[in-house]
Structure 1
């Protein structure tokens, strides 16, 4: 399943030259995020890492990614290939016991003096 060609920008750039195939750029972007590798360490068979990064940024800015993902989701849902699964996490986060008694503005109350346990014993 692939995005409809009309969703992706024309491959003829405004300046001289020609863009690489969209599939190669999408593969490069997917590889980068799947492996976590830095852009500069992208394998050479994907082409220039700068080209892939620039196209990723351009498509993010002009809304191309949203259009592609919406179209793919609609296509998968229409074909019955999409199963909706909802997971709810009921984790409870508790604050530390001292967090409930946060200091307020103003003077700090004087602490009580304590006697060490080895101190004098009362008669």
Structure 2
């Protein structure tokens, strides 16, 4: 399969960075699994554009495959492992800023806006 290069797709360097964190591809029920890279590219397309799963272009594979792999990886912690590894790499390279701001502004609402009974 040739790798389609698009604006929502992983580069070779990006994919190599996360490939070892992905589950081993074991086809279930005798089927042939879609490659992880193709599926991740489809998931990225869906996440970045906000389209419904059914509207992801078919070049990424069946939408049900994308959805099932996305939810399976959410449940088994694959996405969390990828995020933690990428964050650690970026931090080690000095690419993260850990300074943040918190705003504690309080806005008072009228008593009726808070659900108080009318007519007291």
Indicate the structure whose relative CO is greater, using CA pairs within 8 Å and at least 6 residues apart: 1
**Residue-pair matches, total:** 105
The structure with the largest helix share of the pair is 2
Distance 2:97 2:48 in 1: 23
Structure 2 spans left out of the alignment, 5+ residues: 1-13
TM-score, scaled to structure 2? 0.73
Q: Which position in structure 2 is the counterpart of 1:19?
A: 33
Instruction: Give the C-alpha shift of residue 21 in structure 1.
Output: 1.7
Contact in 2 for aligned 1:11/1:19 (Cα 8 Å):
yes
Q: Which position in structure 2 is the counterpart of 1:40?
A: 54
Structure 1 spans left out of the alignment, 5+ residues: 110-123
Matched, 1:87 2:95: no
Higher gyration radius (CA): 1
Contact in 2 for aligned 1:40/1:49 (Cα 8 Å):
yes
Q: Aligned-residue CA RMSD in angstroms?
A: 2.4
TM-score, scaled to structure 1? 0.71
